[in-house]
Structure 1
Amino acid sequence: MARLLTPRFALLTAADLGYFTAMGIAVYALPLYVTGPLHSTNAAAGLAFGAFAISALLLRPFAGRLTDRIGRRPLLLGGTALAATSLALTALAADLPTIIALRLLLGVAEAAFFVAAFAALVDIAPPDRLGEALSLNSLGLYLGLAAGPPLGEVLTQRSFPTAWMTAAVLCLAATAASAFIGETGTPTTTNTKLIHRPAIAPSIALCTSLAAAGGFLAFAALRAQEEGLENTSLPLFLYGATVVVSRAAFAKIPDRLPPLRLGAVALAVIAAGLVLTATPHTLIAGSVVLGLGVTFSTPAFFAAVFATAEPHQRGAASGTASAFIDIGLGGGPILLGVVANASIPAALATGGALAAAGCLWTLRLHRAH
Structure 2
Amino acid sequence: MTAEETPVSSPTKRVLTVVLFNLLVYIVIGLPNAVLTIFVHHTLGYSTTIAGLAFSLQYLATFAARPSAGRLVDSIGPKPVVLGGLVTCLISGLLMIGAGWSGETPAVSLGILLLSRLFLGWAESWAATGVIVWNIRRAGAENTAIAISWNGICSYGGIALGAPIGAKLSQLPHPYGGIVSVGILSVILPLFGLALIGFYKGIKPLPSTEKPVPFTRALRLVLPHGMALAAGSIGFGAISSFLALYYAVLHWEGAATALSVFGIVFVVIRFFFASQIARRGGVFVAIVSLLIEAVGLACLAIFPSQGAALIGAALTGAGFSLLFPALGVLAVNSAGPQNRGAALGAYSIFIDLAIACSGLVLGQVIEFAGYKTMFGTTAVCCLVGVLISRSLGRKPAV
1:108 maps to a residue whose letter is W
Residue 6 of structure 1 and its aligned partner are, at CA, apart by: 5.5
Q: Which residue of 2 aligns with 1:183?
A: 202
With over 3 angstroms needed to count, the CA separation of the structure-2 counterparts of 1:244 and 1:55, relative to structure 1, is closer
Alignment-mate amino acid for residue 109 of structure 1: A
Aligned residue number for residue 49 of structure 1: 55
- How far 1:185 moved relative to its partner? 4.8
Instruction: Tell me by how many angstroms 1:203 deviates.
Output: 1.3
Q: Alpha-carbon deviation of 1:309?
A: 3.0
CA shift digits 1:189-248 (9 cap, x unpaired): 643122313122211111121122111111111122244432221210110010112222
Alpha-carbon distance change, 168 to 348 in structure 1, aligned in 2, over 3 angstroms: farther
The alignment status of 1:219 with 2:242, answered yes or no, reads: yes
Greater shift after overlay, 7-16 or 292-301? 7-16
SS in 2 for 1:368: coil
Matched ranges for 1:1-369 at <5 A:
2-5=8-11, 8-93=14-99, 94=102, 95-158=109-172, 159=177, 160-188=179-207, 190-192=210-212, 193-195=214-216, 196=218, 197-279=220-302, 280-281=304-305, 282-342=308-368, 343-369=370-396
Deviation at 1:285, TM superposition (A): 0.8
Alpha-carbon spacing, 1:98–1:147, altered in 2? closer, same or farther (3 Å): same
Q: 1:255 to 1:319 in 2, by over 3 A?
A: same
Query: Can you list the C-alpha shifts for 1:93-121, whole angstroms capped at 9, x where unaligned?
Result: 23322222222232222222222122223
Q: Would the alpha carbon gap of residues 68 and 133 (structure 1) be closer, same or farther in structure 2, given more than 3 Å must change?
A: closer
Q: After TM superposition, give the deviation of residue 166 of structure 1 in Å.
A: 0.5
Q: Report if aligned partners of 2:333, 2:343 keep a CA contact under 8 Å in 1.
A: no
State the AA in 1 paired with 2:201. Answer: G
TM-score calculated relative to the size of structure 1: 0.93
- Give me the whole-angstrom Cα distance separating, in 2, the residues matched to 1:200 and 1:25: 32
Q: Taking structure 1 as reference, are residues 4 and 294 closer, same or farther at Cα in structure 2, changes over 3 Å only?
A: farther
Deviation at 1:86, TM superposition (A): 1.2
- What 5-or-longer segments of structure 1 have no aligned partner? none
SS of 2:32's equivalent in the other structure is helix
**Would you say the 8 A contact 1:43–1:338 is kept in 2?**
yes
| Structure 1 CA distance for aligned equivalents of residues 323 and 196 of structure 2 | 27
3-state SS of paired residue (2:394):
helix
Task: Measure how far apart 1:2 and its partner are.
Answer: 4.9
Q: Say whether the 8 Å CA contact 1:120–1:185 is kept in structure 2.
A: no
Query: Hey, what's the Cα distance between the residues in 2 that align with 1:134 and 1:107?
Result: 19
How far did 1:156 drift? 0.3
Q: 1:82 Cα deviation (Å)?
A: 0.7
Tell me, yes or no, if the aligned pair for 1:18 and 1:174 is still in contact at 8 Å.
yes
Matched residues, number: 369
SS of 1:36's partner is helix
Cα pair distance change 1:123/1:222, threshold 3 Å: same
Of residues 161-170 and 116-125 in structure 1, the stretch that sits farther from structure 2 once superposed is 116-125
CA distance in 1, matches of 2:199, 2:351: 27
Aligned to 1:213, the other structure's residue is in SS state helix
Question: Judging changes above 3 Å, is the alpha-carbon distance between structure 1 residues 132 and 315 closer, same or farther for their aligned structure 2 residues?
Answer: closer
CA separation of 1:264 and 1:310: change in aligned 2, threshold 3 A: same
Change (3 A) 1:179 1:136: same
Amino acid at match of 1:147: L
Alpha-carbon distance in structure 2 between the residues aligned to 1:176 and 1:301: 35
Provide the rounded CA distance (Å) in 1 between the counterparts of 2:151 and 2:115. Answer: 30
RMSD (Å), alpha carbons: 2.0
| Residue ranges of structure 2 left out of the alignment (5+ in a row) | 1-6, 103-108
Distance, in Å, in 2 between the alignment partners of 1:320 and 1:247 is: 22
Counterparts of 1:55 and 1:62, CA distance in 2: 12
AA in 1 matched with 2:321: T
CA contact (8 A) 1:146 1:238 kept: yes
